[in-house]
Amino acid sequence: LTMETELRKALKEDQLELHYQPQKNIETGQIVGLEALLRWKHPEWGYVPPATFIPLAEKTGLIFEIGEWVLKQACLQNKTWQAQGYPPFVVGVNLSAKQFYQKDLVDKVENILKESGLNANYLELEITESMAMSNEEDIFRTLEGLRALGVHVSIDDFGTGYSSLKYLSQFPISKLKIDRIFIHENRKQNEAIVKSIIHMSHSLNMKVIAEGVETEEQLEFLKTEQCDEMQGYYFSKPLPPHQLDRFFPKIV
């Protein structure tokens, strides 16, 4: 059995799931967002990590169907949480390069928002530096289109790619997500880098979130440096939807 065949089957047979990792406002402690992370539960292989099957999905074009499923599912789930009376938060969805470069991406997102009934403000799309930082007219148009809808766009894994500061300042981007390697590795240089990214984000009127926060020391440092948000195992790993109940007192 090839993995491609199995992945096609996964879509048809409902083997894909989304788990969600909470993102906290550091100052208030409130959960302000949840990042949707795709999981493939294969009947024999168990969980197949996205790092294994996303590249294959990109290569085969299956990513379009998978990506649309992820977007729909995340929007519907967030709308459901809101309908249940949970305090509103943003759901973050990772986009792959091919997905982001689709000519009709903005229309697709608009339709999914309409179908799910989710307000655009509660959706954030995560793209990487290499996907965004280009002088292609189409990229600017897509970002402008998303902004016009009211959808947020963030730059994932920030600091590990190649950012053009020119585009970073001109493009409608809401948030930088500091890559977890800068949080993890306990080095003086990394502290300097994290401080600089926080400062730059705020100067450019963007929010900033630290990824991969695992210890209290890391959180204290981020608090001192006035980083807006945090995400990481220190607070919670990604969880299936029903396990997120614990963070939100049930509205009866």
* Binding residues vs Mn ion (CB under 5 A): 94, 126, 156
Residue closer to ligand G by CB (options 129, 156) is 156
241 makes contact with ligand G (CB under 6 A): no
Which residue is at the shortest CB distance from ligand G? 232
Q: How far apart are CA 4 and CA 10, in angstroms?
A: 10
17 makes contact with ligand G (CB under 6 A): no
CA distances from 47 to 15, 44, 51, 107, 142 (A): 10, 9, 12, 32, 33
Residue closer to ligand G by CB (options 10, 213) is 213
50's contact among ligand G, Na ion, Mn ion, none, with CB below 5 to 8 A by partner kind, is ligand G
35 makes contact with Na ion (CB under 5 A): no
User: Which residues is 155 bridged to in the sheet?
Assistant: 127, 176
157 makes contact with Na ion (CB under 5 A): yes
Of 10, 26, 32, 54, which one interacts with ligand G (CB under 6 A)?
A: 54
Of 214, 221, 225, 239, which one interacts with ligand G (CB under 6 A)?
A: 214
CB half-sphere exposure, 102, CA atoms < 13 A:
19
Under a CB-based contact definition with an 8 Å cutoff, are residues 37 and 18 in contact?
A: yes
33's contact among Mn ion, Na ion, ligand G, none, with CB below 5 to 8 A by partner kind, is none
Under a CB-based contact definition with an 8 Å cutoff, are residues 35 and 238 in contact?
A: yes
Of 6, 124, 129, 156, which one interacts with ligand G (CB under 6 A)?
A: 156
- Torsion angle (degrees, nearest 10) of CA 71, 74, 79, 81: 180
159 makes contact with ligand G (CB under 6 A): no
54's contact among Na ion, ligand G, Mn ion, none, with CB below 5 to 8 A by partner kind, is ligand G
**Could you tell me the smallest distance in angstroms from the CB atom of residue 88 to ligand G?**
22
Continuous H helices in the chain: 3-12, 50-60, 62-83, 97-100, 105-116, 129-132, 137-149, 165-170, 180-184, 188-203, 216-224
| Binding stretches for ligand G (CB under 6 A) | 21, 37-38, 49-51, 54, 70, 94-96, 156-157, 180, 211-214, 232-233, 238
